[in-house]
């Protein structure tokens, strides 16, 4: 590996980590000036950061499975409810412990994703419309089951492992390895990138776009269920809701997903990029909570930053065009000045 390649890779990694590091440093200074304590001032803060990051990472990766291929799946939040409530309660009934809750929830979440994917491929309904319909159905099922109690992990035996930092870290590493293999090195990932470029060209080249679509839905369902389990372990309970209330999780995790895709473009790996986006947003959230700001105020700040980021990303090509236009005008002016001097 020559010097230029090493230098390029180091610059790419630096661009990837500079945002979460910058967020941490900025809020470390602000929090210490305002409250006298840093962003991560205790082991409890570290545990909260780990739990929220893995939840956010799983959900953002699930959105990434379909959204970048033009499929806005609004039923992801409801799939999380189905996976966690049914999988979690079945595991509790058979005393399967925290790992059993996680595995069964992922399996049921994947089955919900499989159902949505098969319906989409066969019925050809717009993904958003199908997502709304499936959301209402899944919410009704999860609300009506288990006497509307949802999933309660607070005070339950053998579920402490879901709050163990070592276990959370191991699950996070396993997820990153699996997702990196699937997205970057498997036939599924190659086909997905080809479909993302052009669905028609991918189909003409022999790629089974319908099979890839169903696999994306299955993977997304499994990931949102995994996110839901760690979120429930953090909050103690998962209360089912109606009236599209599950969509709050979908919209709240779009910021880390889009931010992660941008960060991942520096290292050409969206899996690592989404992790960087999740860490950045959760450090921002933790930093704001240390300032004792209300939930609505925090949401205003976070969603305003999301809006600013999307405006920047949408108009970045225009900015680049204006920058190149300015360079061309300057070059033309210098050329004209040199010719004028030669003539005179």
DSSP string, 137-169: HHHHHHHHGGGGT-EE-TT-TT-GGGG-HHHHH
Distance CA 197, CA 260 (A): 19
Across residues 313-339, what is the average pLDDT?
Answer: 82
Contact 38, 25 (CB under 8 A): no
Q: What percent of the chain has pLDDT over 70?
A: 99
The structure's pTM equals 0.85
- Residue 223 confidence (pLDDT): 92
Q: What is the chain's mean pLDDT, rounded? A: 85
Cβ distance 104 to 88 under 8 Å? Answer: yes
Q: Residue 107 pLDDT > 90, yes or no?
A: yes
Query: pLDDT class for 112, splitting at 50, 70, 90?
Result: very high
Residue 131 has pLDDT above 70, yes or no: yes
Q: What is the pLDDT of residue 46?
A: 83
One DSSP character per residue, 52-102 reads HHHHHHHHHHHHHHHHTTT---TTHHHHHHHHHHHHHHHHHHTT-HHHHHH
Is beta strand 237-238 parallel, antiparallel or unpaired with respect to 151-152? Answer: antiparallel
Task: Write out the two tokens for 289.
Answer: 């909570």
Most confident of 33-47, 75-89, 149-163: 75-89
Instruction: State yes or no: pLDDT of 343 exceeds 80.
Output: no
Buried b (16+ CB within 10 A) or exposed e, 134-159: bbeebbeebbebbeeebbbbeebeeb
Q: Kindly list the structural domains of the chain, giving each domain's residue range(s) and its CATH number in brackets, ordered by start.
A: 3-292 (1.10.3470)
Residue 1 is predicted with a pLDDT of 61
**Is the pLDDT confidence value at 33 over 90?**
no
Mapping DSSP to helix (H, G, I), strand (E, B) and coil, where does residue 237 land?
A: strand
Instruction: Give pLDDT, residue 344.
Output: 66
pLDDT at 115: 92
Q: Is residue 257's pLDDT more than 80?
A: yes
pLDDT for 201 equals 85
Structure tokens at 266: 């520096």
Q: What is the pLDDT of residue 108?
A: 92
| Residue 89, CA distances (Å) to 83, 111, 150, 173 in order | 10, 16, 8, 26
Q: Specify whether the CB–CB gap between 301 and 288 falls below 8 A.
A: yes
- Is pLDDT above 90 for 218? yes
Chain-centre distance of CA 257, in angstroms? 4
Region 229-254: what's the mean pLDDT? 83
* Overall average pLDDT of the 22-43 stretch: 85
Nearest to 258 by CA among 222, 299, 306, 192: 306
Helix, strand, coil share of the chain (percent; to 5): 80, 0, 15
How far apart, in whole angstroms, are the C-alpha atoms of residue 83 and residue 296?
29
């Amino acid at each position: 590996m020559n010097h230029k390649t090493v230098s390029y890779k180091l610059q790419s990694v630096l661009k990837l980590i500079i945002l979460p590091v910058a967020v941490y440093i900025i809020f470390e200074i602000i929090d210490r000036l305002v409250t006298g304590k840093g962003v991560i001032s205790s082991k409890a803060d570290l545990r909260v950061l780990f739990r929220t990051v893995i939840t956010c990472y799983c959900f953002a990766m699930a959105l990434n499975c379909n959204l970048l291929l033009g499929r806005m799946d609004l039923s992801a939040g409801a799939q999380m409810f189905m996976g966690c409530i049914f999988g979690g309660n079945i595991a509790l009934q058979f005393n399967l412990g925290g790992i059993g809750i996680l595995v069964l929830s992922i399996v049921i979440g994947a089955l919900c994703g499989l159902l949505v994917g098969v319906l989409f491929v066969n019925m050809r309904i717009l993904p958003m419309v199908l997502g709304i319909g499936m959301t209402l159905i899944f919410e009704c099922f999860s609300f009506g089951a288990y006497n509307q109690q949802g999933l309660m992990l607070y005070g339950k035996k053998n579920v402490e492992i879901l709050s163990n930092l070592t276990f959370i870290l191991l699950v996070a590493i396993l997820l990153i390895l699996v997702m990196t293999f699937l997205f970057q090195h498997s036939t599924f990932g190659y086909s997905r990138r080809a479909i993302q470029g052009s669905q028609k060209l991918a189909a003409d080249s022999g790629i089974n776009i319908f099979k890839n679509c169903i696999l994306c839905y299955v993977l997304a369902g499994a990931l949102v269920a995994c996110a839901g389990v760690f979120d429930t372990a953090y909050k103690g309970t998962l209360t089912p809701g109606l009236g599209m209330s599950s969509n709050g999780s979908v919209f709240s995790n779009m910021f880390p997903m889009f931010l992660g895709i941008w960060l991942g473009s520096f290292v050409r790996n969206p899996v690592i990029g989404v992790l960087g986006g999740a860490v950045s947003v959760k450090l921002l959230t933790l930093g704001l909570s240390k300032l004792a700001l209300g939930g609505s105020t925090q949401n205003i700040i976070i969603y305003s930053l999301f809006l600013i980021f999307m405006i920047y990303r949408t108009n970045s090509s225009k900015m680049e065009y204006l920058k190149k236009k300015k360079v061309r005008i300057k070059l033309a002016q210098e050329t004209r000045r040199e010719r004028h001097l030669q003539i005179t």
